[in-house]
Amino acid sequence: MSLSLSPRTIRWLKAADWSEDYAWALGPILDAELHRLMHAPNAAALTFLSRYGGLVWNRFNPYQPNAGTAMCHTDALTAAARSSPGWCEAGAELAGSRLCPIGEVGYGHYLVAMDEQGHVFGMDDLLAWKGFGDSGEEFLESLATDWATEETGQRITAAARRKAQPQ
C-alpha cells in the first residue's frame, strides 16, 4: 500500500476500531467465501481487505428508508452477498480487469469493487460508474473526505457475523 494516509483518514479509521496493527479476522477465509458467493477475488482486493476489511461507518439519515444499512463499509462478504456477480463482470468489461467487491457506500446504493491493479470503482444497480481512486488508500481518503462527519465506526468480527445470521 503505497499512499500514506492523512491524519483525518486515520482518525476516521480509528473511529471504526482500526489500528496500525489491524488485520481483519475474516481475512483467511475471504478467498473461499467470495468464490462461494460466485465472485472472483483478486490479490489486490484480498491485500486491501486483510488490512482494512470489516470496517463500518454509520451516520443517521432520517431520509434514508433503509435505516439498518451502513453509510459505508469495507465488508466484502456483505457486499458480495447483496450484489450480483454479473455487476462485477459488467464492470470488469469497462475496467478491462477482473473486479472483486470490497464494500459499499451510500447506504448500499453503490457496490465498491477493486480491480487487479488496485483501482477502486463504484457501481449502482444501473451500472452507473464512479471512480473512487487508483488505490485502496485513495478510496479511504475519498471516503474520509467526502462521506465522513462524526460517524460511529464499528468492526465486523466473526462473532458478530455469526450472531447476526438467522438461527
Residue 3 CA to its chain's centroid (Å): 18
List the helix and strand counts (H, then E) for the chain: 7, 7
Copy the grid coordinates of residue 142: 475519498
Q: Residue 49: what pLDDT?
A: 95
CB atoms within 10 A of CB 40: 16
Whole-angstrom Cα distance, residue 58 to residue 69?
8
Whole-angstrom Cα distance, residue 79 to residue 8?
25
Bridge-partner residues for 105, per DSSP?
72, 110
Q: Report the half-sphere exposure of 117 (CA within 13 A, side-chain side).
A: 8
Per residue of the chain (167 residues), give pLDDT as tens.
445 899 989 988 888 889 989 988 887 889 999 999 999 899 999 999 999 999 888 765 555 555 555 678 899 999 999 888 888 888 888 788 889 999 998 777 789 999 999 999 888 766 567 788 899 999 999 888 776 544 444 444 444 444 444 44
Q: Residue 43: what pLDDT?
A: 95
Which residue's C-alpha cell is 492523512? 6
User: 103: left (phi > 0), else alpha (psi -120 to 50), else beta?
Assistant: left
pTM greater than 0.85: no
Residue type, 55: L
